[in-house]
Amino acid sequence: MNLPTAGRNLRAMRKIALAILIALASPFQAHAQSADLVLCDRLAADPSDPDKPADVRGVADVAPADIPTAIKFCKTASGGSRRAMFQLGRAYAANRQMPEAMAAWRKAADKGSTSAMVELGVLYGTGAGVAKDEAQARKLFEKAAEAGNPRGVSNLAALGGGSPGASANPARSRELLGRAAETNAEAQYQLGLMLSNGSGGQQDDVAARAMFEKAAAQNHPGALERMGAFAQEGRGGPKDKDAAKAYYERAAALGDEDAKKALERIRCPYAIKNKQGQLVTTLCF
């Protein structure tokens, strides 16, 4: 083999080797980029976030020990992911860095994150870290609800629905809750309340009980308490004192105060009053 030919072959081999290295490196680079989002998801994903992948479990709260790591990886991943930007806000909020959390949620909301809209709405609705502005809160909840976010729907219902600056529109709230109640326990509970009270439409105890039963199956405290009351009174279905007590006990164990009072009334059913009608004592069993 002459020298010019050997040189050409060497250059060709180098090109092939370089191409192989680039091809092998690309998957690793992609993996390195996605690893930040994977770790961000693992430490700070919200279980109720519609943007969350189905295989990501999520955490109710960012663990204190995980906050620095969550901030680090979510910040890196947030450049190309609104979900990571929202989760960065969660990590900041867990670290009590509310200005940073709000900034992250605003950016995520601008990119279409309905969960970020809800978090901002809660801050405006409660006046936590920002001037209280119920109209702005309602606007954010409406936008999230229109996109199908269950928390947006239930929070909007809690505000009374309607448009910013307008009177409450319970019929609209009931419509939105009906959509979210297919999958969300809080929406099921809120819709059950509206159905049982006849708010926003016809009163329907049977449908209300069905909604409470669905939410109770997911251990929603308020729904468990309502199921206890409906079973005790025979509203929307059969009367069953034993079932009522069981529902009350489950709700009370989850901290529901109304359920605790209901159990006390069951234990002490007889009230003794004076001539003025004031309660003197109760008889308990």
**What CATH number corresponds to the domain at position 278?**
1.25.40.10
Same domain, 109 and 216: no
Measured distance CA(56)–CA(272) in Å, rounded:
56
Q: What are the average pLDDT values for consecutive 10-residue runs of the chain, which has 285 residues?
A: 53 50 40 77 94 92 96 95 97 97 97 97 92 92 86 78 50 81 84 92 96 96 97 96 96 95 87 71 66
pLDDT score of 2: 53
pLDDT score of 3: 47
**Partner residues linked to 271 by β-bridges:** 282
Same domain, 105 and 210: no
Our count of domains for the chain comes to 2
The separation between the first and the last C-alpha atoms of the chain, rounded to the nearest angstrom, is 107
Instruction: Classify residue 223: in a domain, yes or no.
Output: yes
Non-local (6+) Cβ contacts of 60 within 8 A are: 47
Measured distance CA(90)–CA(222) in Å, rounded:
26
* 18: Cα separation from own chain's centroid: 49
CA atoms within 13 A on the CB side of 145: 28
The pTM assigned to this predicted structure is: 0.62
Token readout for 42 is 């693992």
Same domain, 122 and 228: no
pLDDT score of 15: 53
pLDDT score of 52: 93
Q: Hunting for tokens 């919200």 — which residue is that? A: 46
Same domain, 143 and 232: no
pLDDT score of 178: 85
